[in-house]
């Protein structure tokens, strides 16, 4: 059977998204005729200050906090580092509890801290990729300086029981950091309702610009800076503020707040149709985390005995952009630590493909993928020595 090339179909929105036209438009003046530094006292400075505060208010409205609880950073990775490193810095023999499925921005940071004498417990997950509440609760101690769990997993899309984890943390007086990078902008997130003390957000995962993010820090939470410099962002994030990116971030938050209910439903329907079609047309594949709550745009497939990378490359030749191991991990990790933690055998986990949909995807693209994917898999199966 010949497989028709599909042009350019982008199904890799968990890696990054294109900025919305409104976002780009809002940013442009702040590159050109509005050059002010928000900390300057002249009128260029004050208009930049006003724009930054408008964006802060927009993010605060999206996640249900006060604007002065937000620290702008360069993205999710920096926010995670600030929360994790900032919580243990200066403490004698601190203890951290996290999970086995965190993004490298958290787990590599924890591994790095371990080399410096910090003690870290990694709570396991069940076969659906949900963090074990029992194990998590048992790991919390009186000297635990921080608990850190992601809101939604970047590979499987599985949403973690944050409100339950927060209750365990509150009962033991442990602050809870949540890496919200794959959840914020895709599903409603309210830090009050969920009991979150710190939340990492990244604009480029929901149609904002790359290189800008934020950390929500609840009033009263003690955090140490890990970068030294000026007094920007209450001294927690020194450096001249990236005004164009912050303005674009604010616009992405404003749009997300209005768009989430409709878009989540539309993308969720596309995803469910795609998933059902793939299962029907391709024998022997598994949906990782398919039985539990996920963000609406993600499908993680395991195709036993075929390399996920081979599938991804073959699909790329046909014009489809999906990913095998997540973009952040590829190159450094051969088999997904997330899927191994869920109990998949290494040869099954190696056949993982992540499909992540977004606002611009259409039914026609889903139909084209439903033709291409089974054909690619069957061709690779014919070639496979296994």
Shortest distance, CB of residue 80 to ligand PLP, whole angstroms?
A: 6
Place of tokens 């790095």: 112
Question: Which of 36/244 has CB closer to ligand PLP?
Answer: 244
* Exposure b/e, 262-281, CB count within 10 A at least 16 = b: ebbeebbebbeebbebbeee
Rounded CA separation 294/193 (Å): 19
Give whichever of 202 and 300 is closer to ligand PLP, judged by the CB atom. 202
Find the binding residues for ligand PLP in span 191-210 (CB under 6 A): 202
Nearer to ligand PLP, 80 or 251 (CB): 80
Residue in 181, 194, 252, 344 binding ligand PLP, rule: CB under 6 A = 181
Q: Extract the runs of DSSP E, i.e. beta strands, from 101-244.
A: 119-123, 144-150, 176-179, 198-202, 213-217
Count of residues making up the chain: 386
Min dist CB 347 to ligand PLP, Å, is 25
- Out of 38, 75, 248, 374, name the contact with ligand PLP by CB under 6 A: 75
CA angle 243, 247, 67 (to 5 degrees): 95
3-state SS class at 199: strand
> Could you give the angle at the alpha carbon of 171 between the alpha carbons of 168 and 176, nearest 5°?
55
**Residue 3 burial by CB count (10 A; 0-12/13-18/19+): exposed, middle or buried?**
middle
Instruction: Using CB under 6 A, pick the residue from 85, 103, 254, 337 that binds ligand PLP.
Output: 103
Nearer to ligand PLP, 77 or 99 (CB): 77
Among 86, 195, 213, 296, binds ligand PLP (CB under 6 A): 213
Pick the binder of ligand PLP from 154, 156, 242, 350 (CB under 6 A): 154
The reply on whether position 233 binds ligand PLP by CB under 6 A is: no
Q: Which is nearer to ligand PLP, 201 or 270 (CB)?
A: 201
76 binds ligand PLP (CB under 6 A): yes
Contacts of 170 (CB under 8 A, 6+ apart): 176, 195
Reply yes or no on whether 328 is catalytic.
yes
Task: Write down the catalytic residue from 65, 110, 169, 328.
Answer: 328
Q: What's the rounded Cα separation, in Å, for the pair 168 and 380?
A: 47
- Per CB under 6 A, contacts with ligand PLP among 316-335 are 328
Backbone angles phi, psi at 351, to 5 degrees: -95, 30
Considering only the stretches 23-31, 48-56, 72-80, 140-148, report the one whose residues sit in contact with ligand PLP under the rule CB under 6 A.
72-80
Strand spans (E) along 247-376: 286-287, 298-302, 320-321, 352-356
Question: Does 182 engage in binding with ligand PLP (CB under 6 A)?
Answer: yes
Residues known to be catalytic: 328
Query: What residue ranges bind ligand PLP (CB under 6 A)?
Result: 75-77, 80, 103, 105, 150, 154, 179, 181-182, 202, 213, 328
């Amino acid at each position: 059977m010949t497989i028709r090339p599909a042009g350019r179909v982008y199904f890799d929105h968990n890696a990054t998204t294109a900025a919305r036209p409104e976002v780009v438009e809002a940013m442009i003046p702040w590159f050109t005729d509005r050059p002010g530094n928000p900390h300057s006292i002249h009128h260029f400075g004050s208009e930049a200050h006003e724009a930054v505060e408008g964006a802060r208010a927009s993010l605060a409205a999206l996640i249900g906090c006060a604007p002065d609880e937000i620290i702008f950073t360069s993205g999710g990775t920096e926010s995670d580092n600030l929360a994790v490193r900032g919580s243990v810095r200066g403490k004698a023999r601190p203890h951290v509890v996290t999970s086995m499925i965190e993004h490298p921005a958290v787990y590599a940071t924890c591994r790095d801290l371990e080399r410096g004498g910090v003690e870290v417990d990694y709570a396991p997950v069940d076969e659906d990729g949900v963090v074990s509440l029992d194990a998590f609760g048992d790991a919390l101690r009186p000297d635990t300086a921080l608990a850190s769990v992601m809101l939604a997993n970047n590979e499987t899309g599985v949403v973690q029981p944050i409100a339950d984890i927060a209750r365990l943390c509150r009962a033991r007086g442990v602050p809870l950091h949540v890496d919200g990078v794959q959840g914020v902008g895709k599903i409603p997130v309210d830090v009050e309702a969920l009991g979150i003390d710190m939340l990492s957000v990244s604009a480029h995962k929901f149609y904002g610009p790359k290189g800008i993010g934020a950390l929500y820090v609840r009033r009263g939470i003690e955090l140490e800076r890990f970068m030294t410099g000026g007094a920007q962002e209450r001294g927690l994030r020194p450096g001249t503020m990236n005004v164009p990116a912050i303005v674009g971030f604010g616009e992405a938050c404003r749009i997300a707040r209005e768009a989430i209910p409709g878009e989540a439903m539309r993308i969720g329907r596309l995803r469910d149709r795609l998933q059902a079609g793939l299962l029907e047309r391709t024998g022997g594949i598994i949906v990782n985390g398919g039985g539990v709550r996920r963000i609406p745009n993600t499908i993680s497939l395991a195709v036993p005995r075929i390399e996920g990378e081979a599938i991804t490359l073959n699909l790329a030749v046909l014009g489809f952009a999906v990913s095998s191991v997540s973009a952040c991990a590829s190159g450094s990790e051969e088999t997904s630590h997330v899927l191994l933690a869920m109990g998949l055998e290494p040869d099954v986990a190696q056949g993982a493909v992540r499909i992540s949909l977004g606002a611009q995807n259409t039914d026609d693209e889903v139909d084209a993928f439903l033709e291409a994917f089974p054909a690619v898999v069957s061709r690779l199966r014919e070639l496979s020595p296994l």
